[in-house]
Amino acid sequence: MLLDYKKDFIQFLLDNGALKFGNFTLKSGRKSPFFMNIGDLNDGAQLLTLASAYVDAICDHFGPEKMNPDNPPFDVLFGPAYKGIPIAVATAMQLELRYGLTVRYCADRKEAKDHGDVGSFVGAKLKDGDRVLMIEDVTTSGQSMDETIPLIRGYAETNDINVRVVGLVVSFDRMECAPEDERKTALATVGTKYGMRVISIASMEDACEYLAAEDPLPDETVNAINNYYRQYAPVGRREGEMYVK
């Protein structure tokens, strides 16, 4: 049974056109019957709701007892450029408003700055002992983590400090197999590779369950979704149906 915050989030995505169905060509070249674009959530009200959903997922997975201002479960939210930056900022604000958790935000630059505030990062300076929670929009291949986590580790090594990445939170898990391991989803592979907890606000499985109960999709779309996952779901999950009527 879906938790209420997941239901609310899926409906929010649908209402605002961030989750849509049709025929789409992904960056990978795959032809997909659905598309998820957090970039479509770009006004103040939408960002507030989006960040609140991130906080719901964080609280759900870390546990409400951990949402303690005196002992938060992490110190820094890191938003990979570019889409992760506004999400990390907005989520830090919602953590402050809802739980009184004061956490810093940091982000990477696509190109290191060589004047003024030099370096590869913007926002908070990483400090010895920092626990970093990564904030990402959607993970399809895990490429952004392969780019940003080595930057964080390299910075820590260069500055002789201990910085630990404790987890990754994404808005939506497409639940497709990883390019390098077809037995696992891309999100699960990232977690294993970097030894961290991975969290999604909702997944495609959640969305299909919600839609089947609340607002059934046309048969043509349902068939397209199920056919897509017979090809791209992790091995072992390709025989079932993602969308069960």
In the chain, where the domains are located: 4-232
> Looking at residue 113, what is its pLDDT?
52
Residue scoring higher pLDDT (178 or 16): 16
115 catalytically annotated:
yes
CA distance 244 to 240: 9
CA distance 119 to 165: 20
Indicate the residue type of 226: N
113 catalytically annotated:
yes
Of 24, 28, 15, 20, residue with least CA distance to 178:
28
- Sign of CA pseudo-dihedral 70, 72, 74, 80: negative
Choosing from 20, 83, 110, 113, the catalytic residue is: 113
Lookup: tokens for 7? 């239901």
CA distance 70 to 180: 41
Looking at the whole model, is its pTM more than 0.75?
A: yes
> Of all helices (H) and strands (E), which one includes residue 134?
strand 131-139
Q: Does 34 score more than 90 pLDDT?
A: yes
Measure Cα distances from 194 to 134, 168, 188, 223 in Å: 12, 10, 10, 35
> Looking at residue 116, what is its pLDDT?
44
**Phi and psi for 48 in degrees, rounded to 5?**
-60, -45
- Alpha-carbon Rg for the chain, nearest whole angstrom, is 18
Contacts 24+ apart (CB under 8 A), 211-215: 211/10, 211/243, 212/243, 212/244, 212/245, 214/7, 214/11, 215/14
Architecture per CATH, 4-232 = 3-Layer(aba) Sandwich (3.40)
CA distance 71 to 21: 42
Residues 158-164, mean pLDDT to the nearest whole number: 96
**Residue 48 in contact with residue 95, Cβ under 8 Å?**
no
Task: Express each pLDDT in 93-145 by its tens digit.
Answer: 999 999 999 999 999 986 655 544 546 899 999 999 999 999 999 876 667 88
Task: Express each pLDDT in 178-230 by its tens digit.
Answer: 888 899 998 999 999 999 999 999 999 999 999 999 999 999 999 999 999 99
Of 183, 128, 200, 206, residue with least CA distance to 161:
128
Choosing from 7, 20, 61, 115, the catalytic residue is: 115
Average pLDDT, the chain: 92
Of 73, 75, 69, residue with least CA distance to 104:
75
**Residue 74 in contact with residue 104, Cβ under 8 Å?**
no
> Looking at residue 28, what is its pLDDT?
77
